[in-house]
């Protein structure tokens, strides 16, 4: 008997000793402010966490569909909005890590989990029993006593199910699932290819004479990049914006400018393992097929139904109006640049790799201003201080750095955001510097969205990512003016998430139409560009000297310079996006390069300018969520230019106007229609003239 007991005890001990460690993604986060425990999360935790979270989500949906009571708003719509919270938490952590600090294992997990997630959500959106309950409540909405937010949730959820194919017959639903799963995999592959092409290229310079024209700080960063890559006494330039853009602006070596520009605009178009042309062809075809199955003529019709623009005709009309104003100005700018080329004694024609270089020369000649003069006054530290100062003056928010908190990379800084009354508002992660493990560009996202869970306010955990130049051994990170405004832009998105005050998770924060979501971000750029704001914080990183008044005056005078180019470059990509997604008939073969050329010929794009994003690296529409929506930035520009007029009419930091903007827009999320929110703030619909004046397209 003693032997048996001893043996049993040993077996029990063995079982417990071999039990797998607790998965930190599946337990309550025992961390300050309940942020993700990055110090405990390993790659092997994600797949088990995803599987369990999907299983839990399925159980939650089953509880709704098997409820014996009649469908009500509470037991169906509210229950549906609450479901999948764990899955959202796990997915938020994973996708943000995969974007901000990826590795081979995370990319492998992404390729495995992406189609599974697509299938999981399709199974829910195509669940007939669930849809019947939602439809039952929707059909009786006139009898229900719902507030505005509840009414919006009901309408949005019902439309989402219809748009997802809930009313389709079984055979078409199966095909729709196949399409969605394939699209999810293709968009992932597209983004991976762009990242790999960007990381693989290097322009190695051995002769110091080839650095002619480049600012000292740019050369210093290139030397450090070379050292990190194992080169001695050399300089390396990459396709990451903090490297390639200064090179195109200032490098005297035209041959090398051409080399790096061609590499930049041909990413995904090199007929190698990272080529994106076939992916584009399949994506466009699948999106068109899906739109047709759901009753729409084009993918753009499907997308825009939910946006402020409403339909492709309105988008084209809006883009055409700005194009007609911008193209003549861009042509005049090209003439001026060509004139300078001739004046220097050259006989070549202006090319895309010459534009930025000669634009800087013309800017210097016309305004006695070189944007490099600004860099020493725009250190990352000072820009952060300045942006926080603006937010404090407008809304009274405070940002307190938190040191003892898990973070996924040493570059990351974390802040507790406090409201004007000192109460906790949320947590903000900032990841500002470029590295090979981060995708390009700048973006805001969330680790946790704001909502009210079982009567308890859930505070948001927001993150913003940029790709600015890293500090060197001798200098801090010094930003270009464009990078400086980009930081304000992303902070505006963050405020939209942080100030959210909504009940339902699917309506909170930035859960608004694509052509409205950029309003809170782009309006912040208006303060960034205002001389009164820059003088509040901009000091020389070495001397502490406040930015001189004459420099600000020259900056202000040059603000509308080269805006023909900037507007045309952007609009070209917007037209390209719309042209892909307004195709209404299947095609036997689509060559993206030929399609792009024909699209640009149709609008009369001049050869000296290429679209800001060409097809094969156009992440926004082929890897992100902006398909048939890249126009949104300038549509939101219409909104932000007009909205900023409200502050100019009162005071730059008028608290009453700022509070109205907060209450009517920032706090509302997607609980009301965008135009209703805008009119509630502004008092009228937006006027296009402030946008055209802002860009110098009218006088």
Residue 115, CA distances (Å) to 53, 61, 68, 87, 305 in order: 15, 20, 33, 15, 26
CB 165 within 8 A of CB 126: yes
pLDDT tens digits, one per residue of 561-605:
999 999 999 999 999 999 999 999 988 789 999 999 999 999 999
- Residues with Cβ < 8 Å from 1, sequence gap 6 or more? none
Intrachain domains 24-167 and 375-558 with the same fold: no
Tell me the C-alpha to C-alpha distance, in Å, between residue 34 and each of 22, 38, 52. 17, 11, 20
In angstroms, rounded to a whole number, what is the distance separating the alpha carbons of residues 577 and 585?
Answer: 16
The predicted structure's pLDDT at residue 117: 96
The band of 472, judged by pLDDT with boundaries at 50, 70 and 90, is confident
Six-digit token string for 83: 């479901």
Instruction: For residue 395, give both structure tokens.
Output: 């809304």
CA-based torsion, 133, 134, 136, 137: positive or negative: positive
Rg (CA), the chain: 27
User: DSSP 3-state assignment of 667?
Assistant: coil
CB-based contact 374:481 (threshold 8 Å): yes
Please tell me the predicted confidence (pLDDT) of residue 698: 84
- CA 498/CA 68 separation, integer angstroms: 39
- Evaluate if pTM is beyond 0.95: no
In this model, does residue 518 exceed pLDDT 60? yes
Q: What is the pLDDT of residues 154-197, one digit of tens each?
A: 999 999 999 999 999 999 999 999 999 999 999 999 999 999 99
**C-alpha torsion angle, residues 262, 268, 271, 274 (rounded to 10):** 130
Q: What is the Cα–Cα distance from 337 to 291, expressed in whole angstroms?
A: 45
CB 349, CB 337: distance < 8 Å: no
Distance CA 682, CA 647 (A): 10
Band of residue 11 on the pLDDT scale cut at 50, 70, 90: very low
Is the pLDDT at 122 greater than 60? The verdict is: yes
Look at residue 10 and tell me whether its pLDDT is greater than 80. no
Distance in Å from the first CA to the final CA of the chain: 99
Instruction: Calculate the alpha carbon distances from 77 to 138, 448, 509, 669, 692 in Å.
Output: 10, 21, 19, 18, 43
- Which class is 277-367+561-694 in CATH? mainly alpha
Has residue 13 got a pLDDT over 70?
no
DSSP state of 539: B
Does 490 participate in catalysis according to the annotation? Answer: yes
Q: 32-41, pLDDT tens digit by residue?
A: 999 999 999 9
At 663-686, the pLDDT tens digits run 999 999 999 999 999 999 999 999
Rounded Cα–Cα distance for residues 503 and 539 (Å): 43
Give residue-wise pLDDT tens across range 64-81. 999 999 999 999 999 999
Residue pLDDT, tens place only, 342-379: 999 999 999 999 999 999 999 999 999 988 899 999 99
Residue 440 has pLDDT above 90, yes or no: no
Domain positions in the chain are 24-167, 201-265, 277-367+561-694, 375-558
Rounded to the nearest integer, the mean pLDDT of the chain is 94
Catalytic residue among 135, 490, 539, 569: 490
Place 473 in a pLDDT band, splitting at 50, 70 and 90: confident
Q: What is the pLDDT of residue 20?
A: 54
CATH 1.20.1050.40 assigned to domain 24-167? The reply is: yes
Interval 384-405: pLDDT, tens: 999 999 999 999 999 999 999 9
Ordered DSSP codes for 206-240: --GGGGTT--HHHHHHHHHHHHHTT-SS-EEE-SS
Burial class (CB in 10 A: 0-12, 13-18, 19+), 442: middle
Q: Is the pLDDT of residue 7 over 80?
A: no
Give dist(CA 612, CA 569) in Å, integer: 5
Helix (H, G, I), strand (E, B) or coil at 405: coil
* Residue whose pair of structure tokens reads 């992440």 in the numeric block: 619
Given 1.10.1370.40, 2.130.10.10, 1.10.10.10, 1.20.140.70, which CATH number is that of 375-558? 1.10.1370.40
């Amino acid at each position: 008997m003693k032997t048996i007991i001893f043996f049993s005890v040993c077996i029990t001990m063995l079982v417990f000793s071999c039990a797998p460690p607790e998965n930190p993604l599946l337990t309550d986060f025992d961390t300050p402010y309940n942020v993700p425990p990055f110090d405990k999360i390993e790659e092997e935790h994600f797949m088990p966490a995803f599987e369990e979270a999907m299983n839990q989500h399925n159980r939650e949906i089953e509880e709704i569909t098997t409820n014996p009571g009649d469908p009500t708003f509470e037991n169906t719509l509210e229950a549906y909005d609450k479901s999948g919270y764990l899955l959202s938490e796990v997915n938020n952590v994973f996708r943000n890590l995969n974007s901000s600090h990826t590795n081979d294992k995370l990319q492998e997990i992404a390729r495995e989990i992406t189609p599974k997630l697509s299938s999981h959500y399709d199974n829910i959106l195509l669940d007939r029993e669930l849809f019947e309950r939602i439809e039952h409540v929707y059909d009786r909405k006139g009898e229900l006593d719902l507030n505005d937010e509840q009414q919006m949730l009901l309408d949005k959820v019902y439309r989402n199910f219809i748009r997802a194919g809930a009313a389709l017959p079984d055979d078409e639903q199966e095909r729709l699932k196949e399409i969605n799963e394939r699209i999810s995999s293709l968009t992932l592959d597209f983004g991976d290819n762009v990242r790999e092409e960007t990381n693989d290229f290097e322009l190695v310079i051995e002769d110091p004479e080839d650095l002619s024209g480049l600012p000292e700080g740019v050369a210093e960063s290139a030397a450090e990049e070379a050292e990190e890559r194992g080169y001695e006494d050399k300089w390396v330039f990459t396709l990451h914006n903090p490297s390639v853009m200064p090179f195109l602006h200032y490098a005297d070596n035209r041959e090398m400018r051409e080399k790096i520009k061609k590499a930049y605009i041909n990413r995904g178009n090199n007929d190698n393992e990272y080529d994106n042309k076939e992916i584009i062809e399949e994506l466009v075809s699948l999106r068109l097929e899906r739109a047709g199955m759901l009753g729409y003529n084009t993918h753009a019709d499907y997308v825009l139904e939910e946006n402020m623009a409403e339909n492709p005709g309105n988008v084209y009309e809006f883009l055409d109006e700005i194009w007609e104003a911008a193209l003549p100005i861009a042509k005049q700018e090209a003439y001026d640049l060509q004139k300078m080329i001739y004046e220097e004694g050259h006989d070549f024609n202006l090319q895309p790799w010459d534009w930025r270089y000669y634009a800087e020369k013309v800017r210097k000649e016309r305004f006695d201003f070189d944007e490099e003069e600004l860099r020493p006054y725009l250190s990352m530290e000072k820009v952060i201080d300045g942006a926080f100062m603006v937010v404090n003056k407008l809304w009274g928010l405070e940002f307190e750095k938190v040191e003892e908190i898990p973070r996924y990379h040493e570059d990351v800084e974390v802040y507790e955001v406090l409201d004007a009354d000192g109460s906790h508002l949320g947590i903000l992660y900032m990841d500002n510097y470029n590295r090979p493990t981060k995708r390009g560009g700048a973006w805001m996202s969330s680790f946790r969205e704001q909502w009210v869970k079982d009567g308890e306010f859930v505070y948001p955990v927001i993150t913003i990512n940029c790709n600015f130049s890293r500090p060197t051994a001798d200098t801090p990170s010094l930003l270009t003016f464009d990078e400086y405004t980009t930081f304000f832009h992303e902070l505006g998105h963050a405020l939209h998430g942080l100030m959210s005050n909504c009940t339902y998770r699917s309506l909170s924060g930035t859960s608004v139409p694509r052509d409205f979501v950029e309003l809170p971000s782009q309006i912040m750029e208006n303060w960034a560009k205002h001389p009164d704001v820059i003088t509040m914080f901009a000091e020389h990183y070495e001397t502490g000297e406040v930015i001189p008044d004459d420099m600000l005056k020259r900056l202000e005078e040059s603000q509308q310079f080269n805006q023909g180019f900037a507007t045309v470059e952007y609009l070209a990509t917007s037209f390209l996006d719309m042209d892909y997604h307004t195709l209404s008939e299947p095609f036997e073969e689509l060559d993206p390069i030929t399609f792009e050329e024909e699209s640009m010929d149709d609008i009369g794009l001049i050869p000296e300018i290429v679209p800001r994003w060409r097809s094969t690296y156009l992440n926004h529409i082929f890897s992100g969520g902006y398909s048939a929506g890249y126009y949104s930035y300038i549509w939101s520009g219409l909104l932000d230019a007009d909205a900023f007029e409200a502050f100019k009419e009162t005071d730059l930091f008028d608290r009453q106007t700022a509070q109205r903007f907060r209450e009517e827009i920032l706090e509302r999320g997607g609980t009301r229609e965008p135009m209703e929110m805008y009119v509630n703030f502004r008092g009228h619909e937006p006027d296009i003239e402030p946008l055209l004046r802002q860009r110098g397209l009218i006088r």
